[in-house]
Structure 1
Amino acid sequence: MTRYDSSDLRRAAAAGLQAPSMYNSQPWAFRLRDGAIEVLADPGRQLTIADHGGWALRLALGAATFNARLALAWAGTPAEVRLLPDTDEPDVVARLTAAPHRPPTYTERDLYTAIERRYSNRHPFWPDPVPADVRVRLIEAARVEGAWLDLLVGMTALTGFSEIAHSADRVLRRDQRYQAEMITWTDTESDSGGIPVAAAAAVAEAQDLIPQRNFGGRRRAPGRDYEPEPLVGILGTAGDRKLDQLMAGQALQHVLLTATDAGLSSSLISQPIEVPTARDQLRRSLGRSGFPQIAFRIGYGQPGHPSPRRDVADVLVG
């Protein structure tokens, strides 16, 4: 029987900690148990105000699980993944058991090499359209992970999304406890997490189509509005259980890495998901019976600034 060892664990963890997380909170840990690699939630890094229900935590953990899967497959030791494997240990969100050795597929190799190049780029994107064949690849990446992806095309759809997103953003801006928590994760260069100013968007302006969080207070150059017609994606799942949210995290990372492999940048838009009434409006606007789990913008742009990550040793537990 094939078993993972400590070198496999470090490889999986090094890839997993590159996943996206709300405010770059990095709420994960990894351990080796009985020859399997487990992905665990780190409750101490869950956002108590912005994510009191754990939705963003589970999306991040799903994304980290997908990265770990890729790292193991790249090394020729693919994993069989079981989500929420043990009801007695709710912090264990995924168990990766070694499958028979095989060479990585071309897709696995391409996506693995994209892991370190993927980060949230909050700067304006260029007006170049995303090609149709790439859009198809993004939709398929979500589908194979059990999720759906709607790409908003045309100003009618974008304007409707903009209204929902700005409405949700206003609700969150009025919540003083929410804003205070966000400030604690802002303007930091610490490897322990948070968003450095260099990785933040410029201060939002009234004419912007998509709301931006104020992570740094930087003013944009005159005449530099954000893209007037961005490509916006809405990723969702049929259900909204903890399992669905972990699946959504895996799907999100598969989509983002597919975009990165195609030379695209991306950044997440979570405000319409965080506010329940906005999320329901978004669902109805899409004509979907499922649940939107995250929104994001995709496009071509100049290189941004990745947020720092913790050291591998800091996310390994016994």
Structure 2
Amino acid sequence: MSAQSYDEGDLRAAAAAAIRAPSLHNSQPWRFRLHDGAIEVLADRSRQLAVADSTGWAVNIACGAATFNARLALTNAGTPADLTLLPRDTGPDVIARLTPGSPRPATYPEQALFAAIPHRHSNRKPFFPDPVPSPVRAQLIEAARAELAWLDLLVGMTALTGFAEIAQSADRVLRRNPQYQTEMAGWTHADQAPDGVPVTAGAPATEPQDLLPQRAFTDRRRAPGRDFEPEPLVAILGSAGDRPTDQITAGQALQRVLLTVTDAGLAASMLSQPIEVPTARDQLRRSLHRSGIPQMALRIGYGQPGRPTPRRDLADVLAEQG
């Protein structure tokens, strides 16, 4: 028999997990509320990046990732959710509605992914050159497929160099945009702010030998001998289309992949520059020989230990009940 409704405790547990999701510049563009016994994930448009995310793509990706974390929390509490994306009978800011499904215990894989939530974070520093094992690569591909998305792993230097050229070109476009750079600087902090990116979490300053672009969150130089890995594992995550529902679905898949990465003892950072620049995104799509749409690029490998960036308090993200 299905539970009739979620309560305030369920909402808080779901939101506590959801806020650990990634977002562009750690802008955290989400809110959560209890409405008629369902938990709703809402877009916080006041936190949408006006320059970097004029279309709302990054908000949808972030809220999709938050939705996946909320689903995991509810499943691990014993009542998995039935999911509706962009429900028609609500306002435009409701991204997802989670209604109680049939109670059941969480599976071991669901427990492992849930346990990985507080440990997942972007690692923008150089990785060790050790290759990601084939069984783990297969798990990452399956993680995306389980959420109705796809994940292409770039194999060989030809594919990797081709991607790097697209990514570097997109990065140059964004670096030449003063409004973009000002906006990014506004989300970069030297102290422990509850949002944005701490300079300590940024990649070391770019050097000529770097294959992939890094955002200029810091001008800190790298330690001698700590170059980026010469042949990183790059993954492209994509969806069938590029409607808001496709983007939200991709966000859920992204988070499942990232938690799978974390559970496997690996690190990841996101490379969204070739997604943010439309011409680069189309070039990337054509290079993959896919009809679907790339939604995120990832660099995956073995990294030095790091720590998650701060998040706002729960009280700041809980909306009034509908």
Superposition TM-score, scaled by structure 1 size: 0.98
How far the C-alpha of 1:153 sits from its partner, in A, is 1.3
How far the C-alpha of 1:101 sits from its partner, in A, is 1.1
Which residue of structure 2 lines up, in the alignment, with residue 73 of structure 1?
A: 75
- Post-superposition Cα deviations, 1:109-150, rounded to whole Å, max 9, x if no partner, equal 000000001000011111111111111110011011111000
Give the distance between the partners of 1:305 and 1:32, measured in 2 at CA.
Answer: 31
How far the C-alpha of 1:306 sits from its partner, in A, is 1.9
Give the distance between the partners of 2:201 and 2:281, measured in 1 at CA.
Answer: 26
Contact 1:2/1:100 (CA < 8 Å) preserved in 2?
Answer: no
Give the distance between the partners of 1:306 and 1:199, measured in 2 at CA.
Answer: 9
Give the distance between the partners of 2:191 and 2:316, measured in 1 at CA.
Answer: 17
How far the C-alpha of 1:154 sits from its partner, in A, is 1.1
Farther off after superposition, 16-25 or 216-225: 216-225
How far the C-alpha of 1:88 sits from its partner, in A, is 4.5
Which residue of structure 2 lines up, in the alignment, with residue 269 of structure 1?
A: 271
Which residue of structure 1 lines up, in the alignment, with residue 107 of structure 2?
A: 105
- Post-superposition Cα deviations, 1:192-214, rounded to whole Å, max 9, x if no partner, equal 31100111110111110110001
Paired residue type of 1:128? D
Which residue of structure 1 lines up, in the alignment, with residue 199 of structure 2?
A: 197
Give the distance between the partners of 2:217 and 2:247, measured in 1 at CA.
Answer: 26
Does the residue aligned with 2:181 lie in a helix, a strand or coil? helix
How far the C-alpha of 1:190 sits from its partner, in A, is 4.3
Which residue of structure 2 lines up, in the alignment, with residue 173 of structure 1?
A: 175
Give the distance between the partners of 2:256 and 2:73, measured in 1 at CA.
Answer: 13
Does the residue aligned with 2:32 lie in a helix, a strand or coil? strand
Paired residue type of 1:30? F
Which residue of structure 2 lines up, in the alignment, with residue 226 of structure 1?
A: 228
Contact 1:28/1:315 (CA < 8 Å) preserved in 2?
Answer: yes
Which residue of structure 2 lines up, in the alignment, with residue 25 of structure 1?
A: 27
What is the count of residue pairs matched by the alignment? 318
How far the C-alpha of 1:225 sits from its partner, in A, is 1.2
Contact 1:270/1:295 (CA < 8 Å) preserved in 2?
Answer: yes
How far the C-alpha of 1:270 sits from its partner, in A, is 0.2
Which residue of structure 2 lines up, in the alignment, with residue 56 of structure 1?
A: 58
- Post-superposition Cα deviations, 1:168-203, rounded to whole Å, max 9, x if no partner, equal 000000000000000000124344311001111101
Which residue of structure 2 lines up, in the alignment, with residue 313 of structure 1?
A: 315
Farther off after superposition, 302-311 or 113-122: 302-311
Paired residue type of 1:60? A
**Which structure 1 residue ranges, 4+ long, deviate > 2 Å from structure 2?**
187-192
Give the distance between the partners of 2:241 and 2:222, measured in 1 at CA.
Answer: 40
Q: Gaps (5+ residues) in structure 1?
A: none
Alignment equivalent of 2:141, drawn from 119, 139, 148: 139
- Post-superposition Cα deviations, 1:38-87, rounded to whole Å, max 9, x if no partner, equal 00000000000000100011000000000000000011111001000126
Residue identity over aligned pairs, in percent, reads: 68
Change (3 A) 1:47 1:203: same
Change (3 A) 1:291 1:118: same
Which residue of structure 2 lines up, in the alignment, with residue 4 of structure 1?
A: 6
Contact 1:198/1:305 (CA < 8 Å) preserved in 2?
Answer: no
Which residue of structure 2 lines up, in the alignment, with residue 164 of structure 1?
A: 166
Contact 2:151/2:238 (CA < 8 Å) preserved in 1?
Answer: yes
Contact 1:263/1:300 (CA < 8 Å) preserved in 2?
Answer: yes
Does the residue aligned with 1:203 lie in a helix, a strand or coil? coil
Superposition TM-score, scaled by structure 2 size: 0.97
Which residue of structure 2 lines up, in the alignment, with residue 186 of structure 1?
A: 188
